[in-house]
Amino acid sequence: MSAELRHVRAFLAIADAGTITGAARALGIGQPALSRTLARLEGHLGVRLVDRSTHHLALTAAGTAFRERARRVVAEVDAVLDPARLTEWTTAPLRLGYAWSALGEQTPELLRRWRAARPGLPLELVQIDTADAGLADGRAHAAVVRGRVRVPGTRSARLPDERRVAALPEGDELAARPSVLLADLAARTVALNDETGTTTPGLWPAGARPSVSWVGSTAEWLVAIASGRAVGVTAAATAVLHRFPGVAYVPIADAPPLPVHLVWPDPPTHPAVPELLALVQRVSGADETPRG
């Protein structure tokens, strides 16, 4: 049993109207026909999208999740088929989001090579203090995401892992060492960002965890460390893009590496995302196949 775009549009009309009768009226078709269309889509997906047990219909959990992705897909199809938007869509800047540090020391190389390959299509790096670095609300067409972050409705490609470093006040005794251990930080207060940070208390063994000072942004994190109120743990790339007066970065010898991914909506919201993926993989040395 196959489904088509019209089935998806019918489902969205039902979700918006709250009743099959109202959706049928809005679409200009009969209620029985619309009910069959919905059943066809549910049969194709193998899951119930709409709970019909009450007079006022309600979406199931699967229906709610499907609605968000369906809206994005239908909007993209409408945009692709709009002749007036073709030129705009192919020349609009490509926005690469990141919460902390983009590609670290490889960021300038990425920008140089993109400018040489696509001089008419700007690649803009945008720092966005959300876990998905602006993917969910459309502020970014793709994002560099660190840690185990899952973003619904996206695909991802694994980039090389990064080592972790400690961020310390410059006058701290640990800042003069060539490297430190996690245990060296356990007696300190560690600044953590629970929205975009890649470090949690679980990085330390139970019973030997540091006290925590919560911060709301990268800037707050840097100020807390520079002022001596806390220390931090972050990706090595942060040390490249976030040099800050009073903050020193020292490698952590026994911290596990940090996974890094390039993540983008599926389907992409900019036609140049595949080119960006290929270049990011070349610049970073990654060669892994994208995952759904």
pLDDT of residue 18: 87
Three-state secondary structure call for residue 34: helix
Lowest mean pLDDT among 75-79, 97-101, 114-118, 144-148: 75-79
Share of the chain above pLDDT 90, in %: 59
| CB-CB contact of 190 with 231 (8 Å) | yes
Question: pTM for the full model?
Answer: 0.67
Query: Is 147's pLDDT higher than 70?
Result: yes
List all residues 6 or more positions away from 147 whose beta carbon is below 8 Å from its beta carbon: 198, 258, 259
Query: What is the number of other CB atoms lying within 10 angstroms of the CB of residue 178?
Result: 7
Q: What is the pLDDT of residues 65-80, one digit of tens each?
A: 999 888 888 887 887 7
Domains and CATH numbers, the chain: 5-81 (1.10.10.10), 93-160+260-284 (3.40.190.10), 164-251 (3.40.190.10)
Mean pLDDT of 257-278: 93
Euclidean distance between CA atoms 43 and 178, whole angstroms? 61
